[in-house]
């Protein structure tokens, strides 16, 4: 009779053995697959990978045990050639390497920068991450080297841009969206008197002079927060309290999503230009010799006042007598001095709102808004008294000035009044 117990035990053992064999085979396949996976990862990464021995009793690396495909491609060596070399054979000899290796021996991992040399002599800056571990009782280094050429180039570009900004003659300031100062260049500090340490973290309103009203600043912020460039002129105040004129352009800076993150303002000191402009404007409306208004400005004021509501308007004409004789006998310098004295005497007798002008070689004219006949006669009396006092203090020939007056209301044009005053002046001169 069959031994069913034996048969069932044998069959169980056979099944167990079969399962074990299957498990072993699976494990071998998994190990093989894992090894293949690591090989694929090792050889197909974006960075060069090296495994190297360490010299016995030293911190310095010895020859390579493994190198990946990227390392071969980047350096231009075959795998066989690299396996006959070591890390020091492919790197520029830098004084920092021994200390880096000492740190690796202590910390077991280190990140540092080196320069690799290709087979054809090119230099590649790399960032190397190295880990120290044991393999079969030996210490080995696993190093992953990343090409940082683009990063170095970007850093160099930034360095040059920063140097350019620092060297720029125009003042440059960078703020965040809220207007807090993040960076200023030396030209800005020279212009405003604030050092970078004093300015960073502040708001540009530290330069506010009070010359611009709130509407000006509202318009500015409305413009730049809308993503538009703002360009204007304004008066600001330096750290020492002195005022200066500047021309500024504020440009919004956007991020990848199109959101405004910063503002860059470029400023130029135009104080000298404004001074020259004011001087040119002053020269355009004033007589160069006497400092009084010139004929062009006088005519403009005549036209403006004729359109206004400041009647009655009085006009005084004045002519320096015998100027030609002074020029011919004593010279034009003495003639010019005589005109300056006459201008001073006439000008001091009138109000600030009156228009006193030199309209010809020896002719002066005055427009007196809101002035009737009695008032203009009082003004003319002041002029004659000033002239009398001047002549009384002189020992030479007296200064003589002839005057003519006319008063215009709304029914009389100022041109007609001017002609009438001129005629009255010549009548006095003849008499």
Residue-range domain boundaries for the chain: 45-152, 168-274, 286-430
Distance CA 108, CA 398 (A): 107
On the question of a cis peptide bond just before residue 392, with omega within 30 degrees of 0, the verdict is no
Output 19 or 293, whichever has higher pLDDT. 293
- The pLDDT score that the predictor gives to residue 118 is 96
In the predicted model, is pLDDT for residue 79 greater than 80? yes
Percent of the chain with pLDDT over 90: 66
Which two tokens mark 83? 């396996």
In the predicted model, is pLDDT for residue 27 greater than 50? no
- Model confidence at 32, in pLDDT bands (50, 70, 90)? very low
Percent of the chain with pLDDT over 70: 90
**What's the rounded mean pLDDT across residues 309-333?**
90
In the predicted model, is pLDDT for residue 218 greater than 90? yes
- The pLDDT score that the predictor gives to residue 38 is 55
Write down the CATH number for the domain with range 286-430. Answer: 3.30.70.270
In the predicted model, is pLDDT for residue 24 greater than 80? no
Mean pLDDT check: name the lowest of 24-28, 50-54, 314-318: 24-28
Mean pLDDT check: name the lowest of 31-40, 85-94, 123-132, 407-416: 31-40
Write down the CATH number for the domain with range 168-274. Answer: 3.30.450.20
Nearest to 306 by CA among 415, 419, 423, 424: 415
- The pLDDT score that the predictor gives to residue 39 is 64
Distance CA 327, CA 335 (A): 5
Output 350 or 431, whichever has higher pLDDT. 350
- The pLDDT score that the predictor gives to residue 31 is 40
State the CATH class of domain 45-152: alpha beta
Query: How many Å is the maximal CA-CA distance in the chain?
Result: 175
What order do you get walking across the sheet with 313-320 strand by strand? 355-358, 363-368, 313-320, 401-408
**What average pLDDT does the chain have?**
88
- The pLDDT score that the predictor gives to residue 285 is 94
Q: Give yes or no on whether 45-152 and 286-430 have one common fold.
A: no
- Model confidence at 55, in pLDDT bands (50, 70, 90)? confident
pTM > 0.75? no
């Amino acid at each position: 009779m069959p031994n069913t117990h034996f048969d069932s035990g044998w069959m169980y053992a056979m099944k167990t053995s079969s399962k074990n064999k299957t498990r072993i085979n699976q494990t071998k396949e998994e190990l093989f697959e894992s090894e293949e996976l690591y090989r694929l990862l090792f050889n197909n990464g974006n960075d060069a990978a090296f495994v190297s021995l360490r010299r016995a009793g030293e911190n310095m690396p010895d020859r390579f045990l493994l190198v990946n495909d990227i390392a071969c491609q980047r350096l231009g060596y075959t795998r066989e050639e690299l396996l006959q070399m070591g890390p020091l054979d492919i790197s520029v000899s830098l004084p920092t390497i021994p200390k880096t290796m000492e740190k690796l021996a202590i910390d077991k991992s280190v990140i540092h920068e080196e320069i690799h040399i290709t087979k054809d002599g090119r230099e590649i800056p790399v960032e190397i991450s190295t880990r120290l571990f044991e393999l079969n009782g030996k210490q080995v280094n696993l190093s992953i080297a990343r090409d940082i050429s683009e990063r170095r180039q970007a850093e160099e570009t930034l360095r040059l841009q920063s140097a350019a900004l620092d060297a720029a003659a125009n003042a440059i300031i960078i703020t965040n969206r809220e207007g807090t100062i993040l960076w200023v260049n030396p030209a800005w500090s020279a212009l405003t008197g604030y050092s970078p340490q004093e300015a960073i973290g502040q708001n540009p309103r530290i330069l506010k002079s009070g010359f611009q009203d709130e509407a000006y600043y509202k318009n500015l912020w409305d413009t730049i927060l809308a993503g538009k460039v703002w360009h204007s002129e304004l008066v600001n105040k330096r750290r020492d309290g002195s005022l200066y004129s500047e021309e500024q352009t504020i440009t919004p800076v956007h991020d990848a999503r199109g959101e405004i993150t910063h503002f860059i303002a470029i400023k130029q000191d135009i104080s000298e230009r404004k001074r020259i402009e004011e001087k040119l404007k002053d020269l355009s409306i004033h007589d160069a010799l006497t400092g009084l208004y010139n004929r062009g400005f006088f005519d403009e004021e005549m036209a403006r006042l004729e359109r206004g509501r400041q009647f009655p308007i009085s006009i005084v004409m004045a002519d320096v007598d015998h100027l030609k004789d002074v020029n011919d006998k004593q010279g034009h310098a003495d003639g010019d001095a005589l005109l300056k004295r006459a201008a001073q005497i006439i000008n001091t007798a009138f109000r600030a709102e009156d228009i006193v002008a030199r309209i010809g070689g020896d002719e002066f004219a005055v427009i007196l808004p809101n002035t009737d006949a009695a008032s203009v006669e009082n003004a003319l009396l002041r002029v004659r008294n000033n002239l009398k006092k001047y002549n009384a203090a002189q020992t030479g020939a007296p200064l003589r000035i002839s005057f003519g007056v006319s008063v215009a209301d709304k029914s009389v044009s100022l041109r007609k009044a001017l002609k009438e005053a001129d005629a009255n002046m010549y009548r006095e001169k003849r008499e």
